[in-house]
Amino acid sequence: LAEAAQQMDSEPSSGLSLVSVISLLACSSQVFVAAVLTCMYGRQSSTEDRWILMWLFYDVIIHLTLEGAFVYMSLVGTVETSEGPLAELWKEYGAADRRWLISDPTIVSTEILTVVLDSLLALLLIHAVLKDKYYRHFLQVALCVCELYGGWMTFCPEWLHLWLYLVFFNGLWVLVPGLLLVQSWCSLRKLHELRPDHHATAKRK
Whether residue 28 is predicted with pLDDT greater than 60 in this model: the reply is: yes
Mean pLDDT of the chain: 83
Residues 95 and 115: their CA atoms lie apart, in Å, by 22
In angstroms, the CA 113 to CA 38 distance is: 25
pLDDT of res. 4: 36
- Taking alpha carbons only, the member of 172, 182, 175 closest to residue 137 is 182
Q: Residue 168: pLDDT above 90?
A: no
What's the pLDDT tens digit per position in 49-67? 999 999 999 999 999 999 9
Give me the residue spans of the domains in the chain. Answer: 17-204
